[in-house]
Each structure stands twice: as structure tokens, then as C-alpha cells.
A and B are shown apart, each in its own frame.
Chain A
Amino acid sequence: MSTSQKDMRITQLHGAGGELMAELLDRLILPRLGDASGMGAIGLRDLDDGATIPLPSEARGELVLTTDSHVVKPLFFPGGDIGRLAAAGTINDLAVMGARPIALTLAAIIEEGFPIAELERIVDSFAAALEEVGVPVVCGDTKVMPAGDVDGVVLNTAGLGIAKTAVSDAGLRLGDRVLLTGSIGDHGMALLAAREEFNLRTRLESDVAPIWPMIASLLESDVGDAVHAMKDPTRGGLAAAANEMARKSGTCIEIVESAIPIREPVRGLSELLGISPLEVANEGKAIVVVAAGAADEALRVLRAHPLGAEAAIVGTVTDEYPKRVILGTEVGGRRFLDMPLGDPVPRIC
């Protein structure tokens, strides 16, 4: 297989376990995933049945394991692609548990006929995102499905992290303040705008980014111990994530609409499509719940990091309506902010 030929495509043989597959791994995938020597005796380079990871030297703490399957349409979108999304999604799941990512796995399910040049871009982008946080891929898998049985590429990842003290999404306490690490709705709205049927031209870009460095700076700061809960508002957006936190902790979260950072193009597109920016995915943000007395300092620490420059305090944990989220609207009204139903669809009027 020569990757210099731009029109090369994935065939069933690439997934058959023979020479072609070995060549795909050797020439396309492995060289793109950085140092493949791994962390322990057996790493990615060895193409063994698994990888070994030495026991962490930290005396205390817990291992945190997460897994995710990643599908996105379109595969390449403004601000990122499925590769970056898979890397960031996995790292962020670990980060909001308070865990430093230490290793990832990557499995790709590829549709027969998929352009090899695009696969290269995806793997490159996955690797680049991991490099931002210095985390290696330790093992992986490749499968090819007949054309039509899978849509382009599906990535599956697992992420291993280590947390000194794991942070759950249910640790909210009365009086805590709720922070957002940045603007809301960018990823979901950028994807909607990129869908060709809308024929829109916008400057919207996805926020997809691995946020561990920002979260680490907060957890390692003086107010690190005041962080009671975290969650990344991915599918279902802020509305779903806040509702989940309220339900699990039995508290009421009251959010002030006017305090939520929303970029102007996101606001505009949400008006146009009739889709709330609070209900669409974010891929580079976290909801951080801290003790009231630590809120200002936590905000300062987050804002000091480039990924948290637009962080804001947006709400309070109360006991008014347990397990519910209330939105104080900008004009002075008040309503429940409920769990979104499913994928938002544009309103026709």
C-alpha cells in the first residue's frame, strides 16, 4: 500500500488480518501514534494481544477507567474531526473524574471503500490531541466492515487515568457555586451549521479540546479540595448534564441565564434553527461545582488557563426543588430547565 496515492481506499483485505492489514498498521497507523514503545514491557509497537502498564508509583489514589464509542457526522467539521473528538472525549471523561490520563486505547471500525488519505488525517488528529496532554496509545484494533454496514469510520477508545481523589458528578452540596469553564453550545451548533442541508456559512468552530491541563491546574491549586463535583456537558449539553447532577445528588441547581457564556454566532444560529444552545453538545468544557467560599478563586484559576479564559460562575446549588434545574431567564422570568428529549431537530416556521 502506498499512501502517496491519494485515491487509495480501504478494502476488505485491510481488515483480513493478512499482509495488507499489517502494512496498514505499520505504514499508516503506528507511525502516526507517536512513541509506540508503550509504558511497560509490552506496548503498541509489539502488536501483542494487549499492553502492560506498570503499577503507578503514587502511594494513594485510584485508577479510573473509561470507554467511549465515537460517531460524528460529518467526520470532518469546523474545528476538528472524529479523531480529535475521540481523543478529547476520552481524556475529558477522565479529567472530570479528577483523573490524570495515563494511557488510551484506540479501535477503529472502518467502512470498506473509505479513503485512506482521510484515515491518515483522522489518525494524525487523534495523535495530535493526545500529544497536547502527553498521553500514549498503548494498544488498538482495526476492523473493516463491508460498504454500507458502517458509516465511514467509528472509533472506540478506552482511557486509563489515576486520581488522587476521584471527583464524582454527584458531590454537590447546598450552597455550592456552579461554574462553567467556557462558552456553551459551540460544538453542537458548529456541527449543525456544517450539515450541508442547511447551506449555511458561519464562522462557528467546535470547541473540541482535551481539557485535562486546565482541570489539573484547578485541582492542584489552593482550592482543589473545594471542587465537589465535575461533569463534561457533552450530548444533551448543559441542560442534560445539570439535570443529571441534580438528580444524582438530590439537590436543585439554579442557573442564571444571563451569566452563561454563549458566543454571538451560537446565539444567532440557535435562534435561526430554534434549537437551544443549552441542549447541544460541548466537547471542550466542564461544569465545575465548588464550595461557595472557593468560587472566586476557582474562577480566577480557570481563567488563567487559555482553555478557561471565558469561565464564569453561573449558578448555585439549593434545596428549592430537589432533583430539578431552574433557569432564571434574562428578562426576569423563571422556568425549569428540563432534560432534553433527544437529538434536537430544527424548528420550521
Chain B
Amino acid sequence: MTNSFHFSDPKRGKALADAIAILAPPDPFKIVHVCGTHEMSITRNGLRRFLPETVDLLEGPGCPVCVTPARDIDTAIAIARTGAILCTYGDMIRVPGSELSLDEARSEGCDIRTILSAADASAIARKSNHEVVFFAVGFETTAPMTAVILLDDPPSNLSVLASHKLIPPALVALLDLPDNRIGAYLAPGHVSTIIGTQPYEESLDGREIPVVIGGFEPLDVLYAIALILRQHRDGTPKVENGYPRAVDAEGNPAAKKLLDVVFEPVDANWRGIGVIRSSGLGLRQPFQRFDTRDRIPVEVPEGKDEVPGCRCPDVLTARAVPSDCPLFAARCTPLSPIGPCMVGSEGACSIWFRYGGERPL
């Protein structure tokens, strides 16, 4: 309440609400964001109340653990079963694989540990005689941290099971799905602090769709929405930086360099979407000895990504909102989740359940 600048300032909120109302499109218009933090801000602050009736605002594949395919989780479990210590971020622990979650594998006796930072995996490896595996998930925001531990004289018993994903290729893939009718993207601020604006311009070249990078405070989100609606009204779709206080057009050159030194783009499978070309990160040749897939090879069959009746695939592709799913809040709750979107705290279903997103007030 004593912030020097109120990012929730009600007067500025009202001004933006008025601007959004003036810019309201006459026909249905769907804005998609791809970030759990955006969904959290939108839902927790009740921001959908500010949207004109014609505008829908949906979360697409914005939850990194939700888009991690079951087969990657199955692989992590198979590796943990060899006796290795498996470290990963807390959100990953309860996401269902084909048969088990990491949490369930842990109760079987596997040594699976929750860490808050990639550096913790290194620290655990330095203190251990066992193989230590970092199951690395996340978008461009978390991938540089994985790169750092591999460049910082990593202990020889550490390896990385990389399942990092890239946002711009997913934005393109979503547009190519049938009947998605995405009108604009609200692009994630923190991913953009790393990559800047150019990757969006390159990936979405010729797609004629407004892409506005937005921050996460309530006013940031409303501002970005106003910019999107203005582009739409004026017929001037482009990549626009609505979060200049954090995002440079060039991004973060140091972080980009780290990514480029350690990783190369690889095709990646996204749960609920399928394989997207050059949308994942694989370790480059000099780092292959730290690749868990080489170090601890395990045979894992095709994964089971879908659960009958669960509409996570539609939610992850922004073709449905959580309350469209018959399981939502009935059989599927954060305490007994059925699909990944109810598990990951960035998942739309989990956020809607916790913060009442399904009921516009």
C-alpha cells in the first residue's frame, strides 16, 4: 500500500478501463496470453471485469509444467529408479505422467527432491556420490539458469534432463491449429526480458496479428490490452512493447548468449499440442556428457498425455476455458487433479479454481 507507484492504482485503472471501453471491437475478438503469471494477475485482480463483452482473454500454453509431455515425466521416473537423485522445480512434482507422478514415484522410494534454483542441483551434486539429475523445465526465463550451471565447472556426477521450451514457435503453432480464431497475443513480459522483440517478429512474420508484450501488475495488463485493441481498431498489427520498463527490444544479450552457447533448438513435444518444430532446447555437442539421456539411458515407451474426459488439451491451446471442462471443480480439483492444468500452479484450471475465475462478477 505504500509503493512509490501504485501498480494497482484505481484511478489509473479507471482511465484504462475507459480507454478499453472506447476501443471495444464490434465483433468477437479473442486475445490469448501464454503465461501463468498473466493468468494469475488477471484472475486475482478480477481484470476480466474490465473487458468489453466482445473480448475474450484466454490462457494458452502458459504453464511450463503443464506442457511437459508425460513421456518426459516417465523418463525422469525411470532415471530416478536407477538410483540417481532427481532434482526438479516444485511445480513438476505432482504432474501426472503416463502412470505415475514424480510425487508417487517418491513415495515408492525414489530420491526426488524439490529445488528452488538450478544452482541447488549443482550444490546437491557436489555433496553427493550419487548421480544427480536436474530435470530442467521452463521457458526462456528459466533456461539461462540451466545454462549457467553447465558453464560453471559442473560436478562430474551432475547431468541435465532438458525439457525446456520456447514461446515464439508455440505462438505460431497455435495459429495453425484448426478453429482457434486467435485475434491477438498478449506476450509474456518475463520471457521477453530475455528474448526481446525480434523472435516474435521473425516467428510471426506475415501473420498480421497484434502481439503486445505485457507486464504483470494489473495496470500493466490493462495497458497491454488497450494497446492490442488499438492495433486491432487501426488495422496495424505488429509486435509492440507494452512493458518497456523491463523489456528491451534486444532482450538480455548476456542471457541470450548463455542460451546460445549451451543449447540448440530441437523439435519438442508439447503436451496437448504435439510436436512443434524447433520449439525445445537440446544440449550442444560440448555439453553432451552432461546430457542425462546419454549418461543414464533408459527405455521409455510412448507417453499417455491425455486423460479421457479432460479438456486440458483444449485449455492449453486456448480453445476452451477451464469451466468448459465437465471435470473442472467437480471431479478435478487441485487436491485431486486429473489433468496437468489443475496441477501446475501456473495452470489455468488451478488458477481459476483458487481465485474464482469461472464466475465473472
Chain A residues in the interface with B (C-beta under 8 A) = 197-198, 258, 262, 264, 267, 274, 276, 326-327, 329-338, 340-342, 345-349
Contact = CB atoms under 8 A, between A and B. Distances in A.
Contact of A348 (B89, B335, B357): B89
Interface of B: 1-2, 6, 8-10, 13-14, 17, 36-37, 40, 43-50, 89-91, 116, 138, 141-142, 190, 218-219, 222, 333-335, 345-346, 354-357, 359, 361
B14 A332 contact: yes
Contacts of B141: 349
A258 B10 CA distance: 10
Given A197-B116, A331-B45, A331-B219, A274 B361 contact: no
A340 B334 CA distance: 11
B44 A329 contact: yes
A331 B334 contact: no
B346 A335 contact: no
A59 to B, nearest CB: 47
Contacts, number: 91
A102 B43 CA distance: 46
A336 B351 CA distance: 12
A347 B91 contact: yes
A333 B225 CA distance: 15
Contacts of A276: 44
Given A274-B345, A329-B44, A348 B361 contact: no
22 contacts: A264-B2, A274-B40, A274-B345, A329-B8, A329-B44, A330-B6, A330-B9, A330-B218, A331-B218, A332-B13, A332-B50, A333-B47, A333-B48, A333-B218, A334-B49, A335-B355, A338-B354, A346-B90, A347-B91, A348-B91, A349-B37, A349-B190
A240 to B, nearest CB: 13
A104 to B, nearest CB: 35
B91 A336 contact: no
B354 A331 contact: no
A162 to B, nearest CB: 39
Contact of A335 (B17, B44, B91, B190): B44
Max count, chain A CB within 10 A of own CB: residue among B37, B48, B142, B345: B345
Given A198-B116, A342-B335, A346-B90, A333 B356 contact: no
A264 to B, nearest CB: 6
Contacts of B49: 332-334
Contacts of A345: 90, 345
B361 A334 contact: yes
Nearest to B141: A349
Nearest to B37: A349
Contacts of B190: 349
A335 B10 contact: no
- Best-surrounded residue of A262, A338, A346, A349 (most CB of chain B within 10 A): A349
A333 B49 CA distance: 6
Contacts of A197: 116
A338 B14 contact: no
Given A341-B354, A345-B90, A348-B89, A332 B17 contact: yes
A337 B356 contact: yes
A341 B190 CA distance: 28
B335 A331 contact: no
A320 to B, nearest CB: 9
Contacts of B142: 349
A238 B3 CA distance: 23
B85 to A, nearest CB: 16
Contacts of B218: 329-331, 333
Contacts of A264: 2
B33 to A, nearest CB: 14
A335 B361 contact: yes
Contacts of A267: 1
Nearest to A274: B345
Given A326-B361, A336-B359, A331 B8 contact: yes
Given A332-B10, A335-B356, A342-B335, A349 B50 contact: no
A198 B333 CA distance: 27
Contacts of A337: 356
A332 B14 CA distance: 7
A277 to B, nearest CB: 12
Nearest to B94: A345
Given A198-B116, A342-B335, A336 B13 contact: no
A340 B335 CA distance: 11
Given A274-B40, A335-B46, 20 more contacts: A258-B1, A264-B2, A276-B44, A326-B361, A329-B44, A329-B218, A330-B6, A332-B49, A332-B50, A333-B13, A334-B46, A335-B43, A338-B356, A340-B354, A341-B333, A345-B90, A345-B345, A348-B345, A349-B138, A349-B346
A329 B354 contact: no
A330 B43 contact: no
Nearest to A239: B354
Nearest to B8: A330
A253 to B, nearest CB: 14
A338 B352 CA distance: 11
A82 B47 CA distance: 41
A234 B91 CA distance: 26
A233 to B, nearest CB: 18
A58 to B, nearest CB: 43
A333 B50 contact: yes
Contacts of B9: 330-331
A286 B333 CA distance: 30
A341 B335 contact: yes
A262 B1 contact: yes
Among A198, A336, A338, the one with the most B-chain Cβ atoms within 10 Å of its Cβ is: A336
